[in-house]
Chain A
């Protein structure tokens, strides 16, 4: 991983996008460096918001800016492709490349570096996420927890401007999940980037979020600290 200077990172998103005749994403929010939780029931539009920020879906209108780089601006007709946005995205189904080894997956985003440097960086990030022993394994032979760790390592190795996590820890047992959260938090103490973490679990939202954004029917209906916006009983 390349050292990045310490500075205040900010992700600003204003998204309007019709997903179907009866469902419109219409939200506006800002998140600072650290964990922010995008919380809502299944089908609320959380994944579509991440897809718009990453550049996979193109909103009909709005503006997306990270680290003072405008990734999308419908008014100014700016629409950077996903490859130019430098966002890290861990998909719900992880999307590991099935024909590549663990190391090849992790260094996929480092094509601009020399081969030796790629390998070194790949080994280092895998070791950091407790996966150093998996280097030469095929991704098809990994357990659920191992796959999650490899997907995280693959996304973080690119030194991203922001990290988008779509329920990446949902399939893990509690102990592994806590370990992963620790590893992520310690990684972000060094890198200080905005992390948008999607979940529909109140427990996860309470454990993780310095800030929670509640999404309902494509709109952010509340923002604040977990204690302010999450009514434990009504969500459980």
Chain B
């Protein structure tokens, strides 16, 4: 088993997951509670990675991350970081292509919070921030966890974008899915089988967790509403 690729993938997925939680919470809040007129446009942009072929997305990112592009030069001058074929570039690309997996479950959870509860909190003197912290966040726990699990799992399994933006550099950009592809190319089926089985098991556990969380939260809501 290619432990280097496994560790790099876990590091990548954890970083992306943490970054996306920070980005997804305010974005999902905005989508759920503000600017209904332009919401469909923002939602469409966020959902793009769901329908675009990974190679198309990867191609645009590769062009955008090139040392001659605006983004490439900005990253170089501000952080002395090269984005194309590097771990930081992989993180940025993964944040973009996993964005819908983080934002949509969180936005759905925020929208499902009964508006009467928010009105009650506001009438009781709570500011928007306190409403968010004490009502919306705790009641959206399942949606936030679902977003985190889906983001992690999707980042672990991505192939096309990672190959386009990161290439296949061992210890720097080679993730599990690319290591499996490499093994198959080298006719090393035993190693490919072991790593694939690990990925299959991980994906199953991730989905089981997501469905269990959603089942629990729908039970909680139906109990609260019928009481």
Closest chain B residue to A164, Cβ basis: B123
Whether A54 contacts B139 by the Cβ 8 Å rule is no
- Is A224 part of the binding interface, using a Cβ–Cβ cutoff of 8 Å? no
Contact with B120, one of A81, A86, A91 (Cβ below 8 angstroms): A91
Closest chain B residue to A93, Cβ basis: B116
Q: How far is the CA of A97 from the CA of B123 in the complex (A)?
A: 13
Q: Contacting chain A: which of B124-132, B150-158, B181-189, B197-205?
A: B124-132
Query: Within 8 Å CB of A97, what residues of B?
Result: 117, 120-121, 135
Number of inter-chain CB pairs below 8 Å: 71
- Is B76 part of the binding interface, using a Cβ–Cβ cutoff of 8 Å? no
Interface residues of A in 150-209 (CB under 8 A from B): 154-155, 158
Q: Mark B101-115, 1 if CB is under 8 A from A, else 0.
A: 000000000000010
Whether A99 contacts B119 by the Cβ 8 Å rule is no
- Is A88 part of the binding interface, using a Cβ–Cβ cutoff of 8 Å? yes
Closest chain B residue to A86, Cβ basis: B125
- Is A140 part of the binding interface, using a Cβ–Cβ cutoff of 8 Å? yes
- Is A222 part of the binding interface, using a Cβ–Cβ cutoff of 8 Å? no
Whether B125 contacts A109 by the Cβ 8 Å rule is yes
- Is B227 part of the binding interface, using a Cβ–Cβ cutoff of 8 Å? yes
Query: Within 8 Å CB of B120, what residues of A?
Result: 89, 91, 95-97
Q: How far is the CB of A45 from chain B (nearest CB, A)?
A: 17
Query: Within 8 Å CB of B124, what residues of A?
Result: 83, 108-109, 154-155, 158
Interface residues of B: mostly helix, strand, loop or mixed? helix
Query: Within 8 Å CB of B224, what residues of A?
Result: 98, 140
Q: How far is the CA of A30 from the CA of B119 in the complex (A)?
A: 24
Whether A95 contacts B125 by the Cβ 8 Å rule is no
Whether B116 contacts A111 by the Cβ 8 Å rule is no
Whether A111 contacts B119 by the Cβ 8 Å rule is no
Whether A98 contacts B139 by the Cβ 8 Å rule is yes
Whether A56 contacts B138 by the Cβ 8 Å rule is no
- Is A139 part of the binding interface, using a Cβ–Cβ cutoff of 8 Å? yes
Candidate in B120, B122, B138, B139 with the most chain A CB atoms within 10 angstroms: B120
- Is B223 part of the binding interface, using a Cβ–Cβ cutoff of 8 Å? yes
Whether B227 contacts A147 by the Cβ 8 Å rule is yes
Closest chain B residue to A99, Cβ basis: B138
Q: How far is the CA of A93 from the CA of B115 in the complex (A)?
A: 12
- Is B193 part of the binding interface, using a Cβ–Cβ cutoff of 8 Å? no
- Asked, given contacts A95-B114, A99-B138, A99-B139, whether A83 binds B123 with beta carbons under 8 Å apart, the answer is yes
Interface residues of A in 84-141 (CB under 8 A from B): 85-89, 91, 93, 95-99, 108-109, 111-112, 139-141
Can you list 7 residue pairs at the A/B interface with Cβ under 8 Å? A89-B123, A91-B116, A97-B120, A98-B223, A109-B126, A139-B227, A147-B227
7 extra interface residue pairs, beta carbon distance < 8 Å, beyond A82-B119, A109-B125: A83-B122, A89-B119, A95-B119, A95-B120, A97-B117, A98-B220, A111-B126
